[in-house]
Structure 1
Amino acid sequence: MNDWTWRYEGYDPARERLREALCTLGNGYFATRGAAPECTADGVHYPGTYAAGGYNRLTSTVAGREVENEDMVNLPNWLPLRFRAHSDGTADTAPETAWFSPDAGGLLAHEQTLDLRSGTLTRDFRCEDAAGRRIRVQQTRFLHMADPHLAVLRTVLEPENWSGLLDVESGLDGEVTNSGVARYRDLAGRHLTGVTTGIREPDTVWLHCRTTRSDIGIGMAARTTTTPQPASSRLEPGTAHTRRLLLLPAAPGRPATVDKTVALHTSRDPAVGDPLQAVLDRAGQAPPYADLLASHRRAWHELWERAELDVPGEAGRILRFHLFHVLQTLSPHTAGLDVGVPARGLHGEAYRGHVFWDELFVLPYLNLHFPEVSRALLDYRHRRLPRACRSAREAGRLGAMYPWQSAADGREETQEVHLNPRSGRWLPDHSRLQHHVGSAVAYNVWHYCEATGDTGYLQTRGAEMLTQIARFWASGAEFDPALGRYRIRGVVGPDEYHEGYPDASAPGLDDNAYTNVTAAWVLTRALEVVRALPEPRRRQLFEETGTDPGEPDRWEEVSRRLYVPFHRGVISQFEGYGELAELDWDGYRRRYGNIRRLDRILEAEGDSANRYQASKQADALMLGYLFPPAELAGIFRHLGYELDDDTWRRTVDYYLRRTSHGSTLSGLVHGWVLARVRRAEAWEFCLEALKGDVADIQGGTTEEGIHLGAMAGTLDLVQRGLTGMDPRADALVLDPAPLPELSEYCFTVRYHNHWGLAMRLSPGQLRIDVPASDEPPVRLVLPDRSVTLDPGESCTLELTEP
């Protein structure tokens, strides 16, 4: 391996699905798992293809009741390509030998190489059939990064110890279901209907179908060409499968090459009337393999230039791998789509492809490299603002209540029950009470506009979202005369272990610190935006959103008097957290080893995580992830509390001992926070965040889809976390706190309209190069000084020990 390649040697059926997820290829429009083309879905393999935003809704019977779920649809499989040595070497005899399968024996060697620089997956292997005939195979695939509707698979077949004919079958498979996650398999998963297939002479097969309820039309066409020309060829349409059958001459030193060029369109695509006609045209007019590969590589080269990141060692190699998967899910092509940030990428079916709060960890990175993508992801939320307002009204609140899980139309998609695979029981799911997702939307609006200088967005769509989210928080805050403060009751924080109080009849918690503090921040930012608007625009905004002119006064009051609970000198995760029982952590680790999913363990024992001071992931500590120390202290002062360094350190220590890290985001947040509180311990958590997916530390979850928020968050850790970079409208604030293990690296960012602003961090120094342009100077603000650089200038700043 090197910094740009990931190589997997040997064939390991037990880890095949993990490799399929990690070797997924995509271009922002669609993605395909790294499954072997000759294999169908079974206990070892799962060839899934997913289009961004392609959802469908089905109804299932669960625990005696009807339950609806909306899933990101597994599309028809374009990969199928299988081969075998022809039975007797003549074109007119039906072959009898078995098609090659890696699971049927005869595999002599196997290697997969994922090339990050060029976005290709290459598979090299040797096999032997029952008659002792050996074949060397090389397959290369890519999903085109310049033309996002194309995918290409090249297969080179070379006999080693014989000469003769090869049978090759290349096709499309519409007989697919959503069955990639074991705990969902009892639920309905057949999303495609009306599958029809056909042929277009001389070399193309096609497939057309629709989703059952969202009625998305899907067209797919595959053109298969060969060198040398086939001895015979025929096209065979089927009911749900269509294929081209080829008989190819080959010999040692004279391989047969099969190129399969596939086009995909859906009825959601702009400027496409008929997806089937569109794919037939696109596949038919696609350039030859060499030209497609060259243009694909150029497109990837341009992406890497915009996202330049040079971190030495193993950490840098993993970071580049993370960046590769972020770019495959959210490429510049995403800017033209109506899609959000799928928590598990386009890499599998976990979480049903839903959009949670993961953009909170993704957009800060994209803002400084691909702001057009960030803006499109914010537009996904803005288009669903009316639905969020409807949800708030139905809950008796003003403003907008964004769903914890979102998909096609913005309604709440969180399941009402979930399966504990350890106990086999279906349990109520109350995670829809994580209303803090609205604060995440507001946070992303604000920071996108600060990083880009896009005041036009802030004054229009951004102001609409901020206003409606502020209205939601203000209307839901209840005044408690005994405390003299406002309280937010009946919510769930980021820690999903706690959905209610022990033995309570109703779900929800009171005064989750993360929820209340971020709500106060949203109210303050909304006030700032509204007051800065020109009077005509402010009047228009209030009319559009139904905001009474007196409401901002309530925002001001609530933003200053929201209650934040404390106990024993630390911030309480929620009111009453400190009164819960302590858990025997050592005892559970001795009994179970891995206790990341402690909630499932406790439920299987007839107990509940609600009873214990035990958190799944960072909750109160998330505040230190979102806000730099000085800003966080300022928010608490605004609320009338004093948050000094000692209180924050005690808070960090307290929850560090009581967190099981059952989420891949937990290590990231703890590493980020500890870098400024306990530097000696930070690297352990940073390393966990880096290895979360590549080592599958959650124990089998990565095969269901990568964890996109954690991957993007590690990129942002080196971009903003360790440099203390805080892009603002009037300055680039820096407060470096490098770790010994990550003390020297460089990267570029796009700040406002300064493209390719370069930063190099080294022990004791930070060098900044502002590229030449006609843009205004860049003001840099550090804790002890400020510097202004004109375009074309550079400076090296001496750093003091943090």
Structure 2
Amino acid sequence: MTAWTWEYEGYDPADERLRESLCTLGNGYLATRGALPECTADDVHYPGTYVAGCYNRLTSRVAGRRVENEDMVNLPNWLPLRFRLHGRQWLTPDTATVAEHRLILHPTSGLLERRTRYTLGKGRALSVRQQRLVHMADPHLAALRTEFTAEGFSGELEVEATLDGGVTNAGVARYRDLDGHHLTHVHTGAAVPDTVWLRCRTRTSDIRVGMAARLTADAAVLTSTTPPYATQRVHLHLEDGSTAVVDKTVAVQTSHDPAISDPLAAAVDRVGAAPAFDQLLASHLTAWEQLWRRAALDVPGEAGSILRLHLFHVLQTLSPHTADLDVGVPARGLHGEAYRGHVFWDELFVLPYLNLHFPETSRALLRYRHRRLEQACSAARAAGRRGAMYPWQSGSDGREETQELHLNPRSGRWLPDHSRLQHHVGSAVAYNVWQYCEASGDTEFLHTKGAEMLLQISRFWADSATYDERLRRHRIRGVVGPDEYHEAYPDAKEPGLDDNAYTNVTAAWVLTRTLELLRTLPEPGRRELVERTGLDDGELTRWEDVSRTLHVPYHDGLISQFDGYGDLAELDWDGYRRQYGDIRRLDRILEAEGDTVNRYQASKQADVLMLGYLFSPAELRGLFRRLGHRLDDDIWRRTVDYYMHRTSHGSTLSGLVHGWVLARARRAEAWAFCQEALRGDIADVQGGTTAEGIHLGAMAGTLDLVQRGLTGLETRDGALWLHPVPLPELSSYGFAIRYQGHWGVRLRLEREQLEIAVPSSDLAPIDVRLPDREVSLQPGETYRLLLPD
């Protein structure tokens, strides 16, 4: 790791899949894992190419049941390029002697560089240098340049480049009992002497895919097209000490793309019109330079290098090209097949960062949710509820994609999966709508699509709440909170928990915000919304009541994760750590022992403490006060301490949330959790999960920790709120944001000073609210604030 590159030295088969994930290249539309082009999919390597929103549904037979799953499809592999001396075996790091090997990712330029030196015996060697890009200016293009240098010999080198349509989804070991054959009708052919093509379609969703490859070399190109392969070969004559260059340029199109007639014809035309590699690289670099300028982040040291890598992967998954697509936030990026490419609540950790840099991308991601609002309303009706019940896992059309069974690799058993009861995903959608509109000033979206989503989510929460005469409060029963360990009460016949504090408080917040919005909507828009949704005054009265009376359980003077949490048994944490070492996946350990985590006060990740992540201390106190509950600093500190000692951090999001919360509650302990969040993927702290795809929410969350968490930056009530809490380990850094039309508002935090600079423009001034003062900054002004010790 250097300030601007990410490097791996030497070839290590055990780390290869991790490197492939972290060296994925993408542009928001298309992404390809960082696999070596001469290697095929096996237990060591897994090349994968994915297009955002390209899903397919298949039915498999598992544990005596028919199980339906929708997956993000592994598309034909455009990478393959292998080579060998005449009459010898193909050279790969697994079959030949590797003298040197380096993999260098250049995040600032979106370029993957590879250098390998194969020794061939008798003082001979072949040096291979490759440069790979997935084009950031033209999202349908990718290119691979390969340079071969002979050392100590002259002779013929055979190079074979292929489009491979025989791929399956096989990147996640625990899914291999499921059908992964998503592609069918694979055809191949040649267009012009230097171009081959491949076309296919997905089996159920019938998405047509067209791919074309152009090979350029200083030798004749021979073609062979036998499905599922389209192959090109060249025979290079290498002179001792000389270098020969082969360029492979590829175009990818699908029937989801706008402004095309046929994906194959579009791919062939696009690759034919594509310029040479050097020109492609130049426009690619320009596009990346513009992205980095908009997402400027100046953090020193190792933390800064990791944050730039995280930002690189966020931008590759959700670039400005995403604004033209009908896609959501894939929890594992476009980097692998874990979670099947599904959309979870992870956008809750991603959009707050994008809102302040790429609001048009945030808007597109929210439109993905709005387009599936009717599906969410249908799901609510099927469950006997009004309003919108968004799915825990979403894919192509917004139906519930959560699997019914999941495999415990430790026990080998397939178990019922009840995570679809995490209805709090609806609150996450509402929260993202509100935060986006506050940051961008997009009142048009708030008053139309945003208002409609908020209304239907509020309607669902109000209809889910039942009144308890004994408590004189409303309750929400039968749900699962962010802590996915607890799906049911011990020995209960039915899944679900009552009064998850996070679910109830966020539901109250949604109801409150929606009522506030309806009061301020311009009359014509309000009338149309009421007519369209059938809203009546009786509903509003109920929403007001529920928003003030939702039950929040307490035990021992602190907030309970759910009703009855304090009655569960205590776990022998020290004993389990001694026996198992890593107990992040405590649920799997206990199930393999014939026990269940439902019996214990043991959480997978932050649950109650998520409230401290979403809301500032003042806003959280106000929410509890509205609900008729007391929440002072002492109660919150004891709540934080309690769950700190009962959380296994089985999710990469957990360290992030704990670091965020501790930065305000117990600053001295915050940095350890911030480091865990930073290292989550690069060190693969979850033990093999990063190889299946990066954790996009955790990566974006670390960026937001610097952007909002440590500065106390909030966008609410038409103002920028700032309440810095610099950590000793990260007390000097700077970044730029886009706020309500102002491009490039710069914030710089030094040890004793916060500087805010508003760029010159003809826009209105920015109201900034600090703990002890309010200031109005005109465009062109800079304000400096001395921070208290």
> TM-score scaled by structure 1?
0.98
Counterpart of 1:257 in 2: which secondary structure? strand
Q: 1:322 aligns with which of 298, 310, 323?
A: 310
The runs of 4+ residues in structure 1 deviating greater than 6 Å are none
Letter in 2 for 1:84: R
Q: After TM superposition, give the deviation of residue 251 of structure 1 in Å.
A: 1.3
Distance 2:751 2:74 in 1: 48
Counting only pairs closer than 5 Å after superposition, residues 95-174 of structure 1 correspond to structure 2 as 96-129=87-120, 133-174=124-165
Q: After TM superposition, give the deviation of residue 721 of structure 1 in Å.
A: 0.2
Q: 1:579 aligns with which of 563, 567, 584?
A: 567
What does residue 292 of structure 2 align with? 304
Does residue 722 (structure 1) correspond to residue 710 (structure 2)? The answer is yes
Counting only pairs closer than 5 Å after superposition, residues 681-720 of structure 1 correspond to structure 2 as 681-720=669-708
Letter in 2 for 1:589: R
Q: After TM superposition, give the deviation of residue 795 of structure 1 in Å.
A: 1.2
Counting only pairs closer than 5 Å after superposition, residues 115-514 of structure 1 correspond to structure 2 as 115-129=106-120, 133-226=124-217, 229-230=218-219, 232-514=220-502
Q: After TM superposition, give the deviation of residue 248 of structure 1 in Å.
A: 1.1
Q: 1:616 aligns with which of 604, 607, 614?
A: 604
Letter in 1 for 2:367: D
Counterpart of 1:712 in 2: which secondary structure? helix
Letter in 2 for 1:205: V
Are 1:617 and 1:665, in contact at CA under 8 Å, matched by a contact in 2?
yes
Q: After TM superposition, give the deviation of residue 132 of structure 1 in Å.
A: 6.1
What does residue 739 of structure 1 align with? 727
Are 1:624 and 1:632, in contact at CA under 8 Å, matched by a contact in 2?
yes
Letter in 1 for 2:75: L
Q: Deviations over 1:740-769 (max 9, x none)?
A: 011100000001011000000011210011
Q: After TM superposition, give the deviation of residue 549 of structure 1 in Å.
A: 3.2
Q: Deviations over 1:130-154 (max 9, x none)?
A: 6764211100000000000000000
Q: Deviations over 1:457-513 (max 9, x none)?
A: 000000000000000000010000000000000000000000000000000000000
Are 2:215 and 2:221, in contact at CA under 8 Å, matched by a contact in 1?
no
Are 1:542 and 1:549, in contact at CA under 8 Å, matched by a contact in 2?
no
Moved more, 770-779 or 542-551: 542-551
Are 1:85 and 1:133, in contact at CA under 8 Å, matched by a contact in 2?
no
Distance 1:239 1:365 in 2: 44
What does residue 783 of structure 1 align with? 771
Q: After TM superposition, give the deviation of residue 550 of structure 1 in Å.
A: 2.0
Counting only pairs closer than 5 Å after superposition, residues 668-687 of structure 1 correspond to structure 2 as 668-687=656-675
Distance 1:162 1:742 in 2: 53
Q: 1:655 aligns with which of 635, 643, 649?
A: 643
What does residue 55 of structure 1 align with? 55
Distance 1:247 1:154 in 2: 16
Distance 2:190 2:93 in 1: 30
Counterpart of 1:563 in 2: which secondary structure? coil
Distance 1:800 1:119 in 2: 41
Counterpart of 2:108 in 1: which secondary structure? coil
Q: After TM superposition, give the deviation of residue 372 of structure 1 in Å.
A: 0.2
What does residue 93 of structure 1 align with? none
Are 1:489 and 1:509, in contact at CA under 8 Å, matched by a contact in 2?
yes
Q: After TM superposition, give the deviation of residue 68 of structure 1 in Å.
A: 0.2
Are 1:676 and 1:737, in contact at CA under 8 Å, matched by a contact in 2?
yes
Letter in 2 for 1:654: Y
Q: After TM superposition, give the deviation of residue 128 of structure 1 in Å.
A: 2.5
Q: Deviations over 1:279-298 (max 9, x none)?
A: 00000010011110000000
Counterpart of 1:248 in 2: which secondary structure? strand
Are 2:590 and 2:597, in contact at CA under 8 Å, matched by a contact in 1?
yes
What does residue 85 of structure 2 align with? 85
Distance 1:65 1:173 in 2: 33
Are 2:193 and 2:221, in contact at CA under 8 Å, matched by a contact in 1?
no
- Structure 1, unmatched stretches of 5+, are 87-95
Q: After TM superposition, give the deviation of residue 250 of structure 1 in Å.
A: 1.5
What does residue 751 of structure 1 align with? 739
What does residue 90 of structure 1 align with? none
Moved more, 122-131 or 270-279: 122-131
Q: After TM superposition, give the deviation of residue 124 of structure 1 in Å.
A: 0.3
Distance 1:492 1:565 in 2: 15
Are 1:589 and 1:595, in contact at CA under 8 Å, matched by a contact in 2?
yes
Q: After TM superposition, give the deviation of residue 25 of structure 1 in Å.
A: 0.3
What does residue 506 of structure 2 align with? 518
Letter in 2 for 1:352: R
Instruction: Give aligned pairs, total.
Output: 789
Q: Deviations over 1:57-113 (max 9, x none)?
A: 000001101000000000000000011112xxxxxxxxx210111101321110000
What does residue 3 of structure 1 align with? 3
Does residue 21 (structure 1) correspond to residue 12 (structure 2)? The answer is no
Indicate the percent of aligned positions where both proteins have the same amino acid.
Answer: 71
What does residue 545 of structure 1 align with? 533
Counterpart of 1:209 in 2: which secondary structure? strand
- Aligned Cα root-mean-square deviation (Å): 0.8
Q: Deviations over 1:344-394 (max 9, x none)?
A: 000000000000000000000000000000000000000000000000000
Are 1:431 and 1:499, in contact at CA under 8 Å, matched by a contact in 2?
yes
Q: Deviations over 1:402-459 (max 9, x none)?
A: 0000000000000001000000000000000000000000000000000011111000
Letter in 2 for 1:716: D
Distance 1:487 1:149 in 2: 50
Q: After TM superposition, give the deviation of residue 254 of structure 1 in Å.
A: 2.2
Distance 2:96 2:247 in 1: 26
